[in-house]
Amino acid sequence: MAFLGDVAAAGLGAAVTDTIFNPLAMITVRLQVDKDKVLYRDLRQCALRIFQEEGLLGLWLPGLVATWMRAFTQTGLRLGLYPSIKRLYQSAGLGDDNLAVKICSGATTGSLGAAIANPVDLIRVRLQGEAGLLRNGVYATGLRAGHPPRHAHTPRAFVDIFQQEGLGGLWRGVSANVARASLLSSAQLTTYDQCKQMAVHAGWLDGPKLHLASSCLSGFVAQIACMPADVVKTRVQCGQGVFRHPLHCAACILREEGPRGFYRGFAPAAARQVPVMAVQMPIVEQIRKRLFGLDYM
């Protein structure tokens, strides 16, 4: 049952880092949802406007509970199951810790985590996309200014979406979410694992310094790989009937915004992803070793 310790360590490390960087996640969502740049144009202007209108808590709190839930489900499974899945593929004869095994392992854990935890991620995106300053029960700022909140709080959001959209509503955008997580996980974990492996062979000590260096590179590579799917996922999850399916959404983005539309919000996404990985993976590695007595990944 060592994989339970793997998942718990990954979830705990993700919860810590996702809390720290939740403002950047929310800015990314708002930029992706506001495709016409009505309120938010870029990272700096978006962050400044939210801070001026809603304060520091307005940047930090929206979607935070859902972010914690996502850390212990989607991210916990994505990172935590990687060593076990890699050993499984190795025993099945796919190779001895080669690049193909790493890519397949990362893609598998990313897909599995995203498919299982899609409702949590959907609620996080919706809460962050519609967030704003409340006055007299309606939003005074944000993309839904003049409207009341669609959900009273995070647990209620699950009930509301189920009642209004059915069970399928909770898995809206799951294919785009799975595609994003598969690309993210395979790129990130393969880069991280490969960098560590090459550095150790070159004489580096497998420890925090190596984990930090590998993490920074893996975060940047991962965000480049998954960004188009990330934009599609966010638009579909927030669209509520605007798009028939992710491919329809992708076609609309390409037609209306061109290829650059798939990288809308890349700056805050990368500004979050790289430091998140730089903080998250070393923390996960230390939790694995010191709290659960596991080897480094």
pTM score, two decimals?
0.88
Q: How many Å separate Cα 260 from the centre of its chain? A: 20
CB atoms within 10 A of CB 261: 19
- Rounded (10°) angle between helices 99-130 and 22-33: 80
- Cβ–Cβ under 8 Å, residues 289 and 295: yes
CA distance 172 to 73: 17
Locate tokens 């003049």: which residue? 146
The CA distance from 254 to 250, in Å, is 6
Report the distance separating Cα 267 and Cα 34, nearest Å: 15
117-137 burial string, b = 16+ CB within 10 Å, else e? bbbbbbbbbbbbbbbbbeeee
Buried b / exposed e along 53-80 (16+ C-beta atoms within 10 A): ebeeebbebbbbbbbbbbbbbbbbbbbb
Per-residue pLDDT of the chain (297 residues; tens, 9 = 90+): 667 889 999 999 999 999 999 999 999 999 999 988 899 999 999 999 999 999 999 999 999 999 999 999 999 999 999 999 999 999 988 778 889 999 999 999 999 999 999 999 999 999 999 999 999 999 999 999 999 999 999 999 999 999 999 999 999 989 999 999 999 999 999 999 999 999 999 999 999 999 999 999 999 999 999 999 999 999 998 876 788 889 999 999 999 999 999 999 999 899 888 898 999 999 999 999 998 888 888
List the structure tokens of 27: 């800015």
Quick one: which of 265, 246, 114, 105 has its CA closest to 187? 105
Domains recognised in the chain with CATH numbers: 2-291 (1.50.40.10)
**Phi-psi map region of 295: left, alpha, beta (phi>0 left; psi -120 to 50 alpha):** beta
